[in-house]
Structure 1
């Protein structure tokens, strides 16, 4: 997994959150997409709460800026959790310069997603596309408030890779990320990654500028990287946003895992699935008897693949659901029944 720098359950049919299924549309030029989607992209200004130092002296709160996008006529706006972290008050700036106060609906630190709401009329909403249909090399566009100053900046690139796993600076691991070379900068956090139909296929979340390396003499240096941006795929965003809007707790299994690709499985002579690195004590997984080095190969008969991962399946369940896991352990496969819980 790569340490990166933040740039900041199935949806019910009655949902207010727009999806590709109800929009469709033909491919458009990037100029058309920038024109039609741009008004739905906003800058979020987070006036953060103050803190205290070691001696209990007050430290004034700062101001942070990020990006978000409107998803329904009720004024719900999707962004990253780290954009609204430590919020005391929030303000939204629309592309035409209008400003409005915003309230936090709900947030999820583990998925790094949040929903805020404005109580003013909105002119444009964005719709979700199907990120599971993305292909490497497919063109995409990012819109966001670069550096928090250059609002509604448009950049374009391609899908560089799929199903990346990243470790954010706060230690949170996010799976199934879409990697893109569309330029993403500080302040772009929470902005949309769009396909050529103007549909949201990801939420721009993180970038990496390089990685440390050591020479034969033990001296370290930084390898500079360009064009390494990461977005949370829409197939993970949409069910999480539904849950946040309706204030439903997320389903929790309680494992840290690594996706075993076909290449990994062949190399290590293990089955395809989710390789369990650790099990959280007293979690649903622990109570069901799961152990490190287990491999979850199926959930309720659904196999793990490059496009269907453990996280994907858990996201489409609710806390309290009972699932059957097919688990490989030391050359044998067994079935474990788990009642999903909530994160403490």
Structure 2
């Protein structure tokens, strides 16, 4: 009797298992190489790069940064290894890709699309290749001659890219600095779209060359600031960037020379609370009206800083 009951129970369980498998087929893995090109959220931006030869980017230490050709032009590839990355990291990569793709402006690095490369083991976002590297590289290269007009053109490019973020995209940059602005072969400056969508951490880092661009109010709880406050913090960073372009040197150079980068950042953070320490002297070549507006970018009180619209207007006037 007991054996008969067990036999019936096992038979019922087997039938139930078979029914469950038939009724609920497994969903395809969204990062399978056969699935990726057909995904609804990726199909419209898919690029034919699977058979293109790629090469590691010569500068930098990012092993997932490569280059290849797209329609005869060199493009930059930001990659993720599908064979070693977690599903969470792959999901985040695609989310950031779509966020970057949505930002479209002549002064923001363009994302062309997405593809598989390296024998379909690697998913990549293809972007404009900015051959001259960062603004920091350009202004520190003493062999590169920059006229006053060229420097104002660089400032205007950066300001117009930031204006798009503030007014059209309704967002803040959050980490604007000369390292996060790139320059193409024609000398046009564009905000690095990767830096715009990068997640911002709540813990302050010292010695990483970013303290000079931080507004005083961001030194304690940047993530707690609302959009208006974060945009005001962008204006502070913009003021430092403009001054650095014209000085072609490091902000707070003397402090860093005396104390090193970590202690130097600590000294700068302390001094920013009082507003008694400027990263650079105001260039004597700046007209008085320009200097008046742009030096307000460094105001300790966020509400005293100019809007991006005002800055674009005053810089544009230099070409009138």
User: Larger RCO: Structure 1 or Structure 2 (Cα < 8 Å, ≥ 6 residues apart)?
Assistant: 1
More helix per residue: 2
More strand per residue: 1
Larger radius of gyration: 2
